[in-house]
Chain A
Amino acid sequence: MRVICTVNGVERSADDVWEGESLLYVLRERMGLPGSKNACEQGECGSCTVYLDGVAVCACLVAAGQAAGRDVVTVEGLADGEELHPVQRAFLDAGAVQCGFCTPGLVVAVHDLLEREAAPSDPEIREALAGNLCRCTGYEKILDAVRLAAARAREETP
């Protein structure tokens, strides 16, 4: 089947999509957007986190046909051209990126958290990121990155 949806502000179309295929597969294999990662395909790791109509979801658990006509934003859609999004900048500056496989999903999840809560407490950060697994960092640097991104955003909008 053909699936047409808006991805990062641009209308995109994919042909010959299998009816049981996930949005993640369509993004990575049919639309050339490999930012969202495929690690578990069962909602456990969060590395495929994208926005679907503004709501953060696991792209591996969305059927491609369910995304038809909807608005998808992937990690590729967060930066402003060559300018990294402040959440991405904070991940680099805090040393929260090691192998980097978990990073795109975490960046989207943190972006979502900070949209809802400008100054999250540590328990709020932990709860918001409970669905994103990282095998490298031990999470401390990721928490640092969230605090850094939040603090910088608050400095900019006093």
Chain B
Amino acid sequence: MEFLSPPTWADALAAKAARPDAVPLAGGTDVMVELNFRRRAPAALLDLTRVPELRAWREEDGLLRIGAGVSYARIMAELGGRLPGLARAARTVGSPQIRNRGTLGGNLGSASPAGDGHPPLLATGALVELASTRGVRRVPVAEFFTGPKQSVLSDDELIAAVLVPPAPGPQQFAKIGTRNAMVIAVASFALELRPEGSVGTGIGSAGPTPLRAPEAEAFAAAELPWASRGRLDPAVAERFGELVAAAASPIDDVRGTAAYRRRTLGVLARRTLTWAWSELCA
């Protein structure tokens, strides 16, 4: 095995072009588990932790550009005000040790349907920036995932950053698991309310990929009392939950049954809508 440690982004892209079989290594919280258990024996590891660009975030054309190597702990500490949904999701990842090391880029790289970073990126309409020596492309996160643990990322590409609009209004994230810490989601849900009258959604762990719930979004946009900022009709919240549940395509697995996941999603969607609506009207 080779261990490649490019010091700059240009070197990292060149290394990946020269060695498309090299496995990128960021926080290692997915990759090292596979190596420790000899589930994977890559020809080369491409350590990205020395590339300064990946660890930075900044504002760019009204969007927040978050380097793929920014840890969950830093998202919570540095971006909680402008991206409360993503920060809430980051806070539910693993343990402090995992959040200190694990990155959003690694979450996308693994492309697990259960990745907690994905629902808030879907709900906010984030873009994923992919780069190679051939050039740079920006993919809407909804088009990034192609199947369980599969994405549009090519062999010679690396994830550079995600671009997320700062929250225009309330954002929520909720996750069901067997404990309050250290759990892979049985189901998760992220919501964004945009005060001009639209809604974003993201479903985790209840389909082959993370999903949006477009019908639920359209329903909420049409039915919520945006102008009056009146009380949320419980029947609207209930129906929103049903539409979110209907958008999922869960399976039975060791963590839960499909039926339980659907039911849970309905509850999470109803609850997060209730919280977010009262935040908007506060």
Contacts and interface: CB of A to CB of B under 8 A. Distances in A.
Contacts of A1: 3
Given A19-B45, A66-B49, A61 B101 contact: yes
A79 interface: no
Contacts of B41: 20
Interface residues of B, number: 30
Contacts of B49: 66
Given A19-B3, A130-B182, A65 B45 contact: yes
Given A41-B33, A130-B182, A131-B181, A63 B94 contact: no
B32 interface: yes
Interface residues of A, number: 29
A142 B33 CA distance: 28
Contacts, number: 92
Contacts of B181: 127, 130-131
Interface stretch (B23-31, B56-64, B112-120): B23-31
Nearest to B42: A20
Interface stretch (A28-36, A51-59, A145-153): A51-59
A53 to B, nearest CB: 10
Contacts of B249: none
A58 B3 contact: no
B110 interface: no
A43 B164 CA distance: 29
B28 A49 contact: no
B97 A56 contact: yes
